[in-house]
Homo-oligomer: A and B are copies of this chain.
Amino acid sequence: MIEFQILPAGTVTSPAGFTAVAHAANIKKENQLDLALVVSETDCSCAAMFTKNQVVAAPVIVDRETLAQNSSRLRAVVINSKNANACTGEPGLANARATQQIAAGVLGCQADQILVLSTGVIGVQLPMGKLEAGIVQAAKGLSRENGRIAAEAIMTTDTRPKHLSITVNLPGGPVTIGGMAKGAGMIHPNMATMLAVLTTDAKIAPDVLDGLLRTAVNQSFNRISIDGDTSTNDTILLLANGVSETAVADPDSVQTFSAALNQLCTALAQMIVRDGEGATKFVEIQVTCAQSDDDAHQIANTIAISPLVKTAFAGSDANWGRLLMAAGRAGVTFDQSKINLWIGVQQPGELQLVANGTPTLYQEAAAAAVFAEPEFKILLDLGSGGGGTAVVWTTDLSHEYVSINADYRT
């Protein structure tokens, strides 16, 4: 049994050697925070994962290029909200590169030691004058106290900042992992977050770090869906500065660190779902007895993005037929006469609604009571004879989601 110390108040500056700052650079209206810097006092290894969308924002292109050249000497991340710098063509790329140069000048390092992240409206050029002035001004306030407000500065339609840290005792000593993330729309694997920055004071080689990040993201950010849309900007970064002097290299340390990182990422991912645009429900969908894990994941995802399923969630209507309809359109072959379906609040198996493809004689009031809860679980057993399973976390499609997105830019 591995024990971790999880700190809900922890942030990206909880690991030693990291500072942060948040600033109102007037990209958003009314003096709201819209710029964050996360800076390490020493060079960092860095692993990253990016959106699989064919249309990618300028910072994604620039960060990929940067990390292809340099994954072991990173120093800082510059993040702006309100403007995604996506679909902005060559001028957008030039602006992302200029942002690297500006930050490098201010922080006294090379441009290829800076990563840039943007989130917000697509198709508008960055206001570079405001951004440059903001970076120069912000850098003066870098401190270990600013992790929380940095998480606030990267918010768009999020209603609350998402941050966390976890400390784990390795054979070589304690290390800390901190993280912040933002949602709250265009949320779907892969990736399931728009932006997340993770930091650690452990000492980890870039190739090890890369494997650790991929494993963690597959169990966390790739298991959540809010609206099925995939952002042009999705990026998750994991920076390891080694300031703790504790190495993560031997199998035991790697395994323990990996478990802690998985837990941190899962917690951040679930925070994103709970703060999904207009979300009033948090629903766990588990699919079992599929021919493969991929089949199970495909079905769970299809249920999670179905507008008819999600509106039934919003209405607290135990309209389970829609769950089976969505499963059936997932592109996976199965025998509907072998399906079993359960729902529950604490455990998914509390109330069976379908047995071998036929409705059970359950009480409608009992089913309605489960769907009326703010959090509940669904278990779909395909009965294929296979052992494929998957879990995803999702939310409902509410009036508020429509309100938020019908008029996002104004």
Q: Could you tell me which A residues sit within 8 Å of B by CB distance?
A: 52-56, 84, 86-92, 121-125, 185-186, 188, 227-232, 305-308, 311-312, 314-315, 317, 319-322, 324-330, 332-334, 336-337, 339, 353-354, 356-359, 397-399, 401-410
Contacts and interface: CB of A to CB of B under 8 A. Distances in A.
Nearest to A398: B402
A328 B359 contact: no
B324 A55 contact: yes
Contacts of A121: 319, 321
B232 A328 contact: yes
A404 B123 CA distance: 33
Nearest to A230: B329
A56 B329 CA distance: 10
Contact of A322 (B122, B319, B333, B407): B122
A321 B123 contact: yes
B229 A325 contact: yes
A89 B329 contact: no
Contact of A336 (B55, B188, B397, B406): B55
Contacts of A334: 54
Contacts of A86: 321, 324-325
* Most chain B Cβ neighbours within 10 Å, of A87, A230, A315, A356: A87
A84 B333 contact: no
Contacts of A407: 315, 317
Residue in A89, A90, A312 whose Cβ sees the most chain B Cβ within 10 Å:
A89
Contact of A311 (B91, B312, B405): B405
A87 B336 contact: yes
Contacts of A406: 311-312, 314-315, 317, 398
A327 B55 contact: yes
Given A55-B339, A308-B405, 20 more contacts: A53-B329, A55-B324, A55-B325, A86-B321, A87-B354, A92-B358, A121-B321, A122-B319, A123-B321, A125-B359, A186-B325, A228-B306, A229-B308, A232-B324, A307-B307, A311-B405, A312-B405, A315-B407, A397-B402, A398-B402
Given A54-B333, A359-B89, A359-B123, A397 B328 contact: no
Contacts of A336: 54-56, 87
Contacts of A54: 327-330, 332-334, 336
A333 B53 CA distance: 9
Contacts of A402: 311, 314, 397-399, 401-402
7 contacts: A54-B329, A121-B321, A123-B320, A229-B322, A314-B406, A315-B406, A315-B407
A102 B394 CA distance: 45
Nearest to A186: B308
A232 B321 CA distance: 9
A229 B399 contact: no
Given A55-B328, A55-B336, A402-B311, A88 B358 contact: yes
A56 B334 CA distance: 11
A312 to B, nearest CB: 7
B89 A410 contact: no
Contacts of A398: 402, 406
Contacts of A321: 84, 86-87, 121-123, 232
Best-buried of A186, A230, A334, A405 by chain B (most CB within 10 Å): A405
B403 A307 contact: no
A313 B314 CA distance: 21
Contact of A325 (B53, B327, B405): B53
A359 B123 CA distance: 6
A90 B408 contact: no
Nearest to A334: B54
